[in-house]
Each structure stands twice: as C-alpha cells, then as structure tokens.
A and B are shown apart, each in its own frame.
Chain A
C-alpha cells in the first residue's frame, strides 16, 4: 500500500480525495436497495401481515353482505381499492422509524449523496416489498368478490398507479411523523385526506371499465399525479428527514 501513491488517504488541495472510489449515487441506491431487500427477507413474516389482512377482510365481505354475485361484483372494485389503501397504512408508519432510531438516517444525511434520491429509493424498496404483493394477489381477491374479469386488469393498472402515489405521499408524512412516538394515528389522519382524490380517480377508472365506458382519462390523471409525486415528494421527504434528524 505504501508504494501506491493514490492509496494514501488523500492529498491536500484535491477537493475530492483520490484515495478512494468516488461514491456515486447509483451505487448508493443499489446498496440501499440491497440492504432493504435483505432486511425484508429477514422479516418476511411481517410482510405477510398486510397480505393476510387484505385476504381476511375480502373473504369476510360476502359473509357480511350475503352471497349475491351481482351486488358483490358491483362493489368489488371499490372495496378492493379501499382494502389495499388500508392495508398499506400500518407499514407506512415504519418507513423511517427504525432508521431514525439506530442512526442510519444520520448516515444518510452525512453521506455525500443526494438525500432525496435515497428517500426515493427507500420508497421504491418499500413499495416493492410491502405493496406489490397486495397487487399480485389481486386476481385471487377479485375472484372472492366475483369481480368481472374484464375489470380486473383495469383495477390492477389503477392500483399500480395509485399505490406508488400513496407511498410517495405517505413517505413525506412518515418522515414528518418519524420523530413522534406512536405516530400511527397521526399518520393515518394526515394521509386519508390526501388518499381521497387518489381513491376517487382509481375508483373512477374501475367504475368506467365496469360500465363499459372509456377509462383512460382517470388513469392518465393518476399517472400524471404519480409523475409529479416522483419528482416532488422525495424533495419534501428529504426536508422532513433533515428536520427529524436535527430534532
């Protein structure tokens, strides 16, 4: 090592020290994704809880309403949307909690990486591990409620657009509430007003598909909102995380 000049820690007057591989943002995001997936795999039992919740609630509906296929088919789309939104809520609270407690967020802040990009990566990892399974089992849940098979693809598409949007909105609130103890209720109260328009547009697309009408417009609105949220939510989330760590 002593014979290699570039391996001394770094030389003065170089803004970026030369003695190390420059940490690039892409590598940082991959490292974060790998860490989050490893953690999710270690705690895969917990990941089943939202899934189980969704299956149980869906299975209970026919018992509560009576096994009338027409009635169930008519409400299935809206019911499944609401179930997914509610199943997402508990996990949102813990999006940054343990990282704040064990000092990982400090490292996010101190590392020479764009905080907003790390926040976006965390939302992606969170969505992939906790929400995507809910969408994957949607055909099963749809069958339980006798959802018309023509509506199922529209429902899944609406969920693929609506749930990342909700996760992004939730990430901002989760970061804001991370410093507070028992913030679950607070988070739910803050998120539900924001979730209303998302549910309205998603349900609008499903209802239109069910009535054989064009459903592209509400989906396009959802997609537009998602694009906006992908750009803006991580910035707000990063600002909130900074406050949480400094407090």
Chain B
C-alpha cells in the first residue's frame, strides 16, 4: 500500500504546531452588497477534517472558492501556514475539487491528469497509473472521459487530488454522484490524507453521513445574515 500513513512525527520540526494549516478570521463574502456567508472564524490544523454543512444556496461553494483564491473575500483574513493568503502562500497547499472537473470530455483520464500534473506539479511517488488504480478505475485510463459515468468522472477528480500536491483539500460535495463504495472511497481518501498530515474541508448538504465522528462542523445558513459570527462549534 503506497497510501498508508506517511506522516512521521519525528520529521516534524518543533515549530510545526505554531500555525494551523488554514485560519480564517472574520471571513465574509458579499455579492453586490448581498451577504453570502460569514463572518466566519475557524481554523484547520494538520490531520483535521472540517465539515461545512448547509442547505442549497447557503454559500458552501462560495466559501470554498474564496478559500481557494478564486474569489476575493469581502472582509476578513485567510492565512495558510500562518502567512496571509496569496498566490504564493497557497502554492502547493490548497486544492479545490469543485462541481466542474476541469477536464475535457474528449480527452482520456490519462491525458487530463497529465495536463493537470503539468500545471500543479506531481507528488513524489505518485503516478497517473497508481492514482487511477487507487480510485478503482484503472481500466478506464485511456478511454475518452465522455464515455465514463458521472460517478467515474468524480473518481477521476479524486485521482487528481492524489496526484498533485496540496495539503488542504477543499472538497465541494465530493459525495455527489457516487455509489456506496464511492462514498467509502472518499472517506478513506480523506482519512489517509489527514493521517499523512493533510487537512480537508468538506461541504455537504447533509444527505451523506460523514464517516469520521470526530470531524468538526461549520454550519452555514442561508438566513444567517442577521446572526452574529462564531458559527464554529466543536
């Protein structure tokens, strides 16, 4: 198994605990003066999973897009490893899995993953073959993406998370379109990632039970505009 626990406490410098992987302070986003979410305060440390819950339209996707750097926050601050979020501090840290896969339907998973690995770099010890085998669709490596089912495409997206470097996974509805085995796979991948010292933010509309009972939750509510902050609870 190449995906077993590779996080060795002895390797970690003493300063490691100083800064969490990701910290958000009074983070808020508004579109045309219409508040979408926040202000939120939370931090995610190594090995932690944060479950972002909320109904449709409550701003879960927007929160992940802001954290990934695709949208500028209206107010508040994001820090990666203790330094303010920027293109450079995100480099190799934040990885977003969104509804749109970023893959072309006419290309095979191998060609798509090769392109994305060219953009992001490639994690040591990982090959396109090995990550496709890990997500269980190695047989589809050279088939055009359009011949794959929605669930299989989702798995190719998961393969990308394994292939390219990034310690904070921002997973937007990773369970969508997946069967029971797929859901178990997502949970196993998140657990392995956290065991290696990574962290994950996972959005869900609450239909799927998240495996880790110790995961922390943030709840986003569409009507939360009137509410004060401090939505984080253990």
Q: Which of A103, A112, A246 makes the CB contact (< 8 A) with B87? A: A112
Expressed in whole angstroms, the Cα–Cα distance for A106 and B71 within the complex equals 11
Expressed in whole angstroms, the Cα–Cα distance for A19 and B11 within the complex equals 13
Chain B residues, Cβ within 8 Å of A213: none
* A6 and B124 within 8 A (CB): yes
Does A182 interact with chain B (Cβ within 8 Å)? no
Chain B proximity mask over A1-33: 1 for CB below 8 Å, otherwise 0: 110111111111101110111110001101110
Q: Which of A11, A15, A108 makes the CB contact (< 8 A) with B11? A: A11
* A106 and B100 within 8 A (CB): yes
Chain B residues, Cβ within 8 Å of A27: 118
If A39-B107, A112-B92 touch, whether A23 touches B120 (CB-CB below 8 Å) is yes
* A112 and B114 within 8 A (CB): no
Q: Which of A11, A20, A112, A245 makes the CB contact (< 8 A) with B122? A: A20
Interface residue count for B (Cβ, 8 Å)? Answer: 59
If A22-B121, A31-B114, A38-B111 touch, whether A8 touches B81 (CB-CB below 8 Å) is no
* B122 and A13 within 8 A (CB): no
If A12-B12, A16-B92, A103-B100 touch, whether A109 touches B124 (CB-CB below 8 Å) is no
If A17-B167, A42-B106, A110-B96 touch, whether A5 touches B124 (CB-CB below 8 Å) is no
Expressed in whole angstroms, the Cα–Cα distance for A246 and B73 within the complex equals 12
Does A104 interact with chain B (Cβ within 8 Å)? yes
* A110 and B167 within 8 A (CB): no
Does A111 interact with chain B (Cβ within 8 Å)? yes
Chain B residues, Cβ within 8 Å of A181: none
Expressed in whole angstroms, the Cα–Cα distance for A34 and B81 within the complex equals 34
Expressed in whole angstroms, the Cα–Cα distance for A4 and B118 within the complex equals 23
Residue of A nearest to B93 (CB): A17
Does B208 interact with chain A (Cβ within 8 Å)? no
Chain A proximity mask over B97-117: 1 for CB below 8 Å, otherwise 0: 011111111110001001111
Expressed in whole angstroms, the Cα–Cα distance for A104 and B105 within the complex equals 11
Residue of B nearest to A118 (CB): B119
* B116 and A107 within 8 A (CB): yes
If A4-B125, A8-B8, A10-B165 touch, whether A111 touches B120 (CB-CB below 8 Å) is yes
Interface contacts (Cβ under 8 Å), in number, total 153
Interface SS of chain B: helix, strand, loop or mixed?
A: loop
Does A102 interact with chain B (Cβ within 8 Å)? yes
Interface residue count for A (Cβ, 8 Å)? Answer: 46
Does A98 interact with chain B (Cβ within 8 Å)? yes
Residue of B nearest to A113 (CB): B119
Expressed in whole angstroms, the Cα–Cα distance for A107 and B5 within the complex equals 28
* B104 and A102 within 8 A (CB): yes
If A31-B117, A103-B100, A104-B104 touch, whether A8 touches B92 (CB-CB below 8 Å) is no
User: Shortest beta-carbon distance, A39 to chain B, in Å?
Assistant: 6
Does B123 interact with chain A (Cβ within 8 Å)? yes
The A-contacting residues of B in range 1-38, CB under 8 angstroms, are 2, 4-8, 11-13, 15-16, 18-19
Top 10 A-B residue pairs of the complex, sorted by shortest distance between their CB atoms: A31-B118, A103-B100, A23-B121, A20-B165, A111-B119, A107-B102, A112-B91, A103-B102, A12-B16, A35-B115
Q: What are 28 inter-chain pairs, A to B, with CB distance below 8 A? A: A9-B6, A9-B167, A11-B16, A13-B81, A15-B88, A17-B93, A20-B121, A20-B123, A23-B118, A23-B120, A31-B115, A34-B115, A35-B111, A38-B107, A39-B106, A42-B106, A101-B100, A102-B103, A102-B105, A103-B101, A103-B102, A104-B103, A104-B104, A107-B119, A109-B70, A110-B68, A112-B91, A112-B120
Not counting A31-B118, A102-B101, A103-B101, a sample of 18 additional A-B residue pairs whose C-beta atoms are within 8 angstroms of each other reads: A1-B125, A2-B5, A7-B6, A9-B193, A9-B196, A9-B197, A12-B15, A12-B16, A12-B46, A19-B165, A32-B118, A35-B107, A43-B106, A98-B104, A102-B103, A103-B100, A104-B102, A106-B96
